[in-house]
């Protein structure tokens, strides 16, 4: 797999999350009683999308750069991976908080918390969309290195 393919896959993950966030925000404009079940399903689906995205980035992008990148690339990948972990932790905290509450009864708290989480998640995705390609600058085919590290053939 070459870097263009990795970036295409990254973009696919990101676009899926951004599309899901847009649909979730549409739910937030409706009456709370009408979307209770849909909101619970949406939170779980977003968790699944974010987790798949995180695993992809760590396995396919950050870890290979951390093993074989230049000092500048390693520093950037370290920062990005730490920010990714923090974003994942923040979403898990959000999920845990609202999993045990009736969001309709707590709408005055749930709605602003959800809008803020969506904005933070979107901003995080956009920062990574701009930053990840920089990790590949001058590397040629970083995936070949990852395959050697893990003993896997490139996909």
pLDDT of residue 14: 97
Name the band, by pLDDT with cuts 50, 70 and 90, for residue 154. very low
Q: Residue 114: its pLDDT value, please? A: 96
Paired tokens of 122: 């979107």
pLDDT in tens, 74-125: 999 999 999 999 999 999 999 999 998 999 999 999 999 999 999 999 999 9
Q: Return the structure tokens found at 5.
A: 């393919």
Q: What is the pLDDT of residue 135?
A: 86
What is the rounded CA–CA span in Å between residue 57 and residue 80? 10
pLDDT of residue 5: 84
Instruction: Look at 144 and 20; give whichever has higher pLDDT.
Output: 20
What average pLDDT score do residues 61-66 get? Answer: 92
Q: What does the pLDDT average to over 2-28?
A: 92
Does residue 152 surpass a pLDDT of 60?
Answer: no
């Amino acid at each position: 797999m070459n870097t263009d393919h990795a970036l295409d896959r990254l973009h696919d993950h990101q676009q899926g999350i951004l599309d899901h966030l847009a649909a979730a925000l549409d739910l937030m404009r409706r009456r709370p009683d009408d979307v209770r079940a849909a909101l619970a399903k949406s939170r779980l689906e977003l968790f699944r999308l974010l987790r798949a995205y995180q695993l992809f980035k760590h396995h396919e992008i950050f870890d290979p750069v951390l093993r074989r990148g230049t000092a500048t690339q390693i520093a950037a990948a370290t920062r990005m991976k730490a920010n990714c972990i923090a974003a994942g932790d923040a979403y898990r905290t959000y999920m845990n908080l609202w999993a045990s509450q009736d969001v309709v009864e707590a709408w005055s708290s749930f709605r602003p918390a959800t809008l803020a989480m969506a904005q933070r998640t979107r901003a995080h995705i956009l920062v990574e969309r701009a930053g990840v390609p920089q990790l590949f600058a001058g590397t040629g085919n970083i995936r070949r290195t990852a395959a050697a590290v893990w003993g896997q053939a490139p996909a």
